[in-house]
A and B are shown apart, each in its own frame.
Chain A
C-alpha cells in the first residue's frame, strides 16, 4: 500500500512539474509537426523594415544549417537586429549537433527547413528531388543579391538537370574582388616559426625540409623545455582531424602538401603542372611529407603523445610554449599576443627556399556551401525569407555579421573608416548594452555561422574589407619591431607579398561547378580506403627506419587496392577534371 501511495504521489508530482514546465502548452500533440508556428505579433509597431513593407505577423523560420554548431532559437543581440527589421525568429537545426542522421530523417520526409544551407553536392541532390524552391522570380527584386548576379547565375546554370536555367541557390561567401586574386596577407598553411628562437640561431636561410629539421633540432636543443619545465617539441600532432575537408589522409600531412604546390583532392593530388596523380604515389607530396614527419620522429623532434592526444591537448601545449612549429594561419592565435608580438617572441612565416605555396584564390564564386529556400514554404514566408536574405547580403547586414555593433565593437572615424574597440568581446562574452538586446556578445552572436558574402570583400561604405584585420587603423596599431625586422630580412611587408615577389605562390582560381556526389558504392570504398590510409600513416610516422617505412607503405597500397582504390581514383578523376577544366578556363 505504501508503495502504491509513493508511486501515485511521484506520478502526480511529475505531472505537475510537467505542466509548469509548459510542455503541454504550446507544442501540438497528436498533430503532424508544424514547421511554422505563428504567434500573435508582440513586436513594437513597425520595425526598421526595408522598403516600407509591413510585417505584422511574427514568423518562425526553420534554418537547416550544416555550418551551425548550435541547435535552437537565435537569441541575444543578433536576434534583436533581425527581429526589429523583419519580425522573424530564427530556429536553427544543426546536423553538426544532431548528427548526420537528421539529414537522412528530414530529407526522407521532403522538408529540410524553410531556409537550407547545404554543401554543394547535397544541394544539387535536393534540387533534383524537389526539396528546393525555385526563386528565379523573386530574386530579381533583391538588389543586394543582384550585386552578385554573375556568380549566382554561373552557379545555378551548373546545377545538373537545370537546363531551363532557373535559380535555386545562392552560394556562400562570395566576394566582390575577383576569381583569380588572393587578397589575404597569409596563406592558409605555411611554415611558422618563433621569431626569437629563429633569431637566436642567426636567422639562417633554410633551403629545404632537411635543413628545416636541422633548424628545429637546434631550437629544441637550445630550449628543451618551456619556462615551466615541461618538455617542448617542434612537432606536436593530433589525430582527431583526420579524413576531413575533402582530403584523404592524416590532417597533419594533408595540410602540408600545399607547401610544394600540391593540393589533395580526396584520393587525388593536383600537381602544380595541373595534372593529377594519386595520393599514394611515392613521388608525390604525401609520401614526402610523411617521410619528413618520420625523420623528425627519428631525430626526437615529435611529441610522443601525438598519436593519442586530441586537439585540445595539443592546443594547450601550443599555448604553454611547448610547440615550435605551426602551420595554420589561425593557429598562431594560441601563442601570439600583442605582448609577444612586441617582444618578438611570436610565430611568423619563415620561407623554405625550395617550396612553392598553393593557395585557393578569393572565393569569388562561393566557398562550397549554398543557401536555398525550402520548397514547402508558403507565399508569406517566402516573401519574408527573400527580404531577409537580401538584407543578409547587404552592406548593413554584412557589417553586423562581420563587425558587430557600431559603438560597441567598432567606431566610425571622420573619414568613414572603422576602428576596432573591445576586441575581446567575442572571447570574453562582454555584456551588450540593453538597447541592442542585452546579454553576452558571444551568446547573442550570429548562430547561422555562414555568410553570403565573405569578410575579405570590400565594404562600399569604408572602402576597406569587412575583416577587421585588414583595416588601415588596425595595421597601424599592430606594427611592431618584430615585423620591421622581418620585413628587412625578407624584403616584403607581409608573407603573401614575399611569395608573390619571389614567384612562389600558386593561386588556384575559384570556379563554380557542380560536382557529382558519391554513389553509395563509392562512399563505402572511400571510407575504407581513408581509414586504411590514416591508420598506416600514423604507424609510418613512428616507423623505426626507412625499410620499415617503405614496407608499410607498400602493404598499405596493396590493401587500399584490395578495397577498390582504383575505382575510387577513376571516379574522383572524372569528378575533379570538371573542376580543373573550369579553372584552366578561368586562367586564360
Chain B
C-alpha cells in the first residue's frame, strides 16, 4: 500500500519534472530558432526591398519598396547556369566519394588485423594539423595536371581525416559481435563492409554527406587558383566575381559617366544587396535538399539484428 503510494508520488514528481523540462526546452529552442531565422528573414526581405533603404538599415520587419531587380540581375549573370551545373556535379560526385571513402577507411581503421593500423591512422589524421602553403600546393596540382581540370575539385578533398575519425568512432560504438558473427559465417573484410557495416552506419554517413556536400557546394578558393577556363567556374566563384565587379562598377561609372548614381538608387546594386541576394540563391538549394538527409536521423534505425 505504502509502496504504491510512494511510487505514485514519485511518478507525479517525475511527471512534473518531465513537464518542466519540456516547457523549458520549448522556450529555449523557440528563442534559439528565432535568433537563427530572423537574420535569414532579414536578408530575404532586404533582397526584395529598395536597395538604398536597405543599405541605410531601414528594412527590418517587412518589405519596403518591393522590386525584383536584385534577383533578375543575378539570374542574368553570364555563365550562371554553366557554373551551377559544375557546382552540382562537384557536390554530388565529391560528396559521394568523400562519404564512401570516409566510411571505408573509418571501418578499416577499426580492424585489428590491419597491418600497422595505428601508424597509418596517425599518418592520415596528422594531416589535419599542417599546411604546406599555397605555392607548393599549386605546383603539386599543376604537376599532376589538375589545373583547369574538373577532378582538381574532387581528389584533394576526397580523403578527409575529420570524417574518417567520425566514422571510426561511430563504428567502434557498434557491438563487435556483429562483425564477428559475419566472420564466423566466412565473410571477408570487404563483404563485411558492404553487407554488414554500410547499412548500419547510415546515420553517420548521412551526417558526413551533408557536411561534405556543403563543403563542396561552398568552396571556391580552389577555383580561384586552379581554374582559368570559364567552363569550369563554380557557382560560388561566379557569384563572388559578380560581387567584386559591381563594387568597382560604381566607381567606374561615377568617374567616367555624367549620369549620377543618385538617380537610380532604389535598384542600383550595392555590394551588400548582391551578397544578400547571392546568399539566398546559394542557400535555397541546400535548404531544399537537406530534408532528404534528415530522414536518416530517424530514431531506431539501429540493429535489433545483434540480439536477434
Contacts and interface: CB of A to CB of B under 8 A. Distances in A.
A15 B85 CA distance: 12
B259 interface: yes
Contacts of B142: 32-33, 109
Interface residues of B, number: 69
B191 to A, nearest CB: 12
Interface string B185-224: 0000000001100110010010000000000000000001
Contacts, number: 197
- Chain B binding surface SS class: helix
A180 B60 CA distance: 54
Given A426-B253, A443-B78, A478-B258, A105 B225 contact: yes
Given A3-B205, A17-B88, A23-B231, A312 B272 contact: yes
Interface in A1-54: 1-4, 7, 10-11, 13-15, 17-18, 20-24, 26-33
B139 to A, nearest CB: 7
A244 B89 CA distance: 40
B35 interface: no
B244 A319 contact: no
Contacts of A30: 145
B135 A10 contact: no
Interface string B237-267: 0001100110111111111111111111100
A29 B151 contact: yes
Contacts of A62: 228
Given A14-B96, A337-B260, A330 B224 contact: no
A15 B232 CA distance: 15
Given A3-B199, A7-B100, A333-B255, A69 B245 contact: yes
Nearest to B249: A442
Contacts of B250: 315
Contact of A334 (B85, B86, B205, B260): B260
A319 B259 contact: no
Contact of A17 (B89, B202, B225, B259): B89
Contacts of B52: 316, 319-320
Contacts of B160: none
A21 B230 contact: no
Contacts of B100: 7
Contacts of B240: 97
Interface in B33-50: none
Contacts of A27: 148-150, 229, 231-232
Nearest to A428: B264
B277 interface: no
Max chain A Cβ within 10 angstroms of own Cβ: one of B135, B228, B230, B232: B228
A424 interface: yes
A336 interface: yes
A75 B134 contact: no
B262 A337 contact: yes
Contacts of A102: 224-225
Interface of B: 52, 55-56, 76, 78-79, 82, 85-86, 88-89, 92-93, 96, 99-100, 134-135, 138-139, 142-143, 145, 147-151, 194-195, 198-199, 202, 205, 224-225, 228-233, 240-241, 244-245, 247-265, 268, 270-272
Given A99-B225, A337-B262, 6 more contacts: A10-B92, A27-B148, A72-B233, A332-B254, A426-B252, A467-B256
14 contacts: A4-B194, A4-B198, A20-B85, A27-B150, A28-B148, A104-B134, A105-B138, A316-B52, A316-B265, A319-B261, A319-B262, A319-B265, A333-B260, A455-B256
Instruction: Give 9 nearest A-B pairs by CB, closest first.
Output: A333-B254, A14-B92, A316-B55, A105-B138, A23-B150, A21-B85, A18-B89, A98-B224, A72-B230
